[in-house]
Amino acid sequence: MNLIILQSTEVDVDGRAVFSDARSKHIHNVLKAVSGQQVRIGLLNGPLGQGTVERVDSDKVVLQCKFEAETPPRPRIDLILAMPRPKVLKRLWAQLAALGVGRIVLLRAEKVERYYFDSHVINPDFYNKQLIEGLQQGRCTHLPEVQIEPLFKPYVEDRLGSEFSAHWKLLADPSGAQRLRYFQPLEKERRTLLAIGPEGGWTPYELELLKERDFELVGMGDRILRTDTATIGLLSVLNELLGR
């Protein structure tokens, strides 16, 4: 836990926050903080800051909070992800937030089982906890927006274009001859949309429909990777590319 994320409702008008949960246990057991010590804090969807420990017990921490004037910029990468198996998505939530994703669209492709969308892992009460865990790891305060789309064709044909009209669009697939690491962003500050298919791959029809909407086909090599491995690898390369 490299950042203590606080909800706005947890900070009173005097800038004091009191909490008793995994965060307090981390401050007590891992940081071994004492009164007067400072810890890194962040307001969910808000600025970073410093928290001065006023009191620390085994079950409760009291912080005096001071936040910076400006909120850090939202992560520049948005993600369309063909809905993976629920146990894979469960592992991915925190990693997506830690790596820096602004918006996540979970899409049903042809090779995605319908019952995946019945899983509890796409319940906001479940995934928001996982996302916040990732934010605390990656020192980011922006909670990714999550959008569930169980119908491929209506979403891609009717709404994708308008929702991401200004984005630089990249379509990941093993058939992509162009390697992602060699691409150059069209504009330095332009938001980027990355689309990653299911473990069985996009169908030819899906690839064509996405390319018709200005997606550029990219790959990482000839190996066929599992969804979680491919997603983490692609986001890591893309973050490096955008940071050049």
Give the domain CATH number at 55. Answer: 2.40.240.20
Packing angle of the helix pair 86-99, 124-138 (nearest 10 deg): 40
Query: Is residue 192 situated within a structural domain?
Result: yes
Amino acid at 101: V
Confidence of residue 220 (pLDDT cuts 50, 70, 90): confident
Q: Are residues 62 and 92 in the same domain?
A: no
The predicted model gives 170-176 an average pLDDT of 85
Q: Are residues 145 and 224 in the same domain?
A: yes
Residue ranges in 100-203 assigned as alpha helix (H)? 124-138, 152-155, 161-163
Q: Over 60: is that where the pLDDT of 244 sits?
A: no
| Residue whose tokens read 């602004």 | 102
End-to-end CA distance of the chain: 27
Number of domains comprising the chain? 2
Q: Are residues 56 and 144 in the same domain?
A: no
Query: Is residue 72 situated within a structural domain?
Result: no
- pLDDT at position 186 is 59
Q: Are residues 176 and 108 in the same domain?
A: yes
Strands (E), the chain: 4-6, 16-19, 38-43, 48-56, 61-67, 77-82, 103-107, 145-149, 168-172, 192-196, 216-218
Q: Over 60: is that where the pLDDT of 133 sits?
A: yes
At which of 18, 49, 67 does a domain end?
Answer: 67
Domain span holding position 41: 4-67
Q: Are residues 97 and 187 in the same domain?
A: yes
- pLDDT at position 35 is 93
Locate 148 and state its tokens: 């569930």
Q: Are residues 138 and 198 in the same domain?
A: yes
- pLDDT at position 167 is 93
Percentage of the chain exceeding pLDDT 90: 79
Q: Are residues 61 and 88 in the same domain?
A: no
> How many other CB atoms are found less than 10 A from the CB of residue 142?
20
The predicted model gives 166-184 an average pLDDT of 81
Q: Are residues 55 and 96 in the same domain?
A: no
